[in-house]
A and B are shown apart, each in its own frame.
Chain A
Amino acid sequence: QSALTQPPSVSGSPGQSVSISCTGTSSDVGSYNRVSWYQQSPGTAPKLIIYRVTNRPSGVPDRFSGSKSGNTASLTISGLQAEDEADYYCSSYTSRTTSRVFGGGTKLTVL
Chain B
Amino acid sequence: EVQLVESGGGLVQPGGSLRLSCEASGFTFSNYNMNWVRQAPGKGLEWLSHISSSSSNIYYADSVKGRFIISRDDAKSSFYLQMNSLRAEDTAVYFCARDADDFWSGYFDSWGQGTLVTVSS
Contact = CB atoms under 8 A, between A and B. Distances in A.
Interface of A: 2, 32, 34, 36, 38, 40, 44-48, 51-52, 57, 89, 91, 93, 97-105
B107 A51 contact: yes
Interface of B: 35, 37, 44-47, 50, 59, 61-62, 95, 97, 100, 103-114
Nearest to B114: A45
B44 A89 contact: yes
Contact of A48 (B44, B61, B103, B109): B109
A57 B109 contact: yes
Contact of B100 (A51, A93, A98, A105): A51
Nearest to A48: B109
Contacts of B95: 45-46
A103 B62 contact: no
Given A93-B105, A99-B59, A45 B47 contact: no
Contacts of B97: 46
Given A38-B45, A93-B106, 9 more contacts: A45-B95, A46-B37, A46-B45, A46-B95, A48-B107, A91-B107, A99-B62, A102-B44, A105-B44
Contacts of A105: 44-45
